[in-house]
Amino acid sequence: MSKRTLRKSMGYIKKEYPRTRTIPASWYLSSYKFKFNITHMKPFLDKLKQKKLVGLQCSSCNRIYFPPRQICGKCLVKPDRWIDLRETGRVASFTVTYLKDPETGEVLERPIVCAQLDGADTSYPAQLDPDIEFKDTYIGMPIKVHWAENIKGGLMDIEYYDSIEDSAKDLQPKEE
């Protein structure tokens, strides 16, 4: 269905305006150099290489950031304590995207989630297992990290999140 027929069916009253001369032009934004201090990220990325997850804790409000943040949004304090996190988590929020596959032209329905790892106080956008039906996704769904085959030391080492059962053993606290 084209846009025009859609609008017609919804009873859209369109007003036509006379056209004046249009002069085409383009605005080229030259290359962009964003400054970003990477020092607070290094321990995090090093741990990712060992398939371990760590979050950065603010010493003032005890909020744990995953991925780490340079400054706490609440307290204006530099978080400095590294906390080990588990590989399980919950879906904090989700949506479904409808993107066209550039090769086959078919529309892919992919659930995209805001993942909150157990122990962390923040969420970040991530992908779910492509085999999970988008209708089965819900808020509060237990998930587990699925590591990529080639570990490079970046956020994409967590390729996607697997869904797990509510009673899965991974969710139980570890006995020391």
Partner 1 sequence: MGRQVCVASAGFSEHASKRSDVNMPELVNEAIVDCLKRVPSLDIKDIDAFVNGNMPAFEGSNIPELWMTDWMGARNKPLMRVTTGGTTGGSVAIAGYYSVAAGLPGVDNVLAIAFEQQSQGDTSVGLASVAYGEISVMNSLGIPYDQLTLLLSGGAAIGIASYQATNYMRKSKITEEDLARVVVQNRHNAAKTWWAHLKMPDLTIEEVLDTPYISYPLRYGMVCPASDGACAMLFTTEEKAKDICDIPVFVNGVGSIANETALIGYGGSGSGQLDLSEQLGAQKTSEIAFNQAGIHFPRKEIDYAEVYSPFPNQELMWVEKLGLFEENTATKMYETGVTALNGELPINCSGGVNSTNAIGASALERPAVAALQIMGKASNQVPKTVHTSLGHGWGGYVNLVTMMVMADEPVRKY
Long-range contacts of 69-75 (CB under 8 A, 24+ apart): 69/40, 69/122, 70/37, 70/40
Residues 126-145 vs partner 1: string with x where CB under 8 A? xx------x---xx------
Contact 112, 125 (CB under 8 A): yes
- Find the binding residues for partner 1 in span 25-84 (CB under 8 A): 25, 27, 29, 32, 34, 36-38, 41, 45, 63, 65-71, 73-74
Distance CA 69, CA 40 (A): 8
Say whether residue 6 binds partner 1 (CB under 8 A).
yes
Say whether residue 2 binds partner 1 (CB under 8 A).
no
Say whether residue 119 binds partner 1 (CB under 8 A).
no
Residue 164: partners with Cβ closer than 8 Å, 6 or more residues away? 88, 142, 143, 144, 170, 171
Residues that bind partner 1 (CB under 8 A): 1, 6, 9-13, 15, 17-20, 22, 25, 27, 29, 32, 34, 36-38, 41, 45, 63, 65-71, 73-74, 92-99, 110, 112, 114, 116, 120-127, 134, 138-139, 152-157
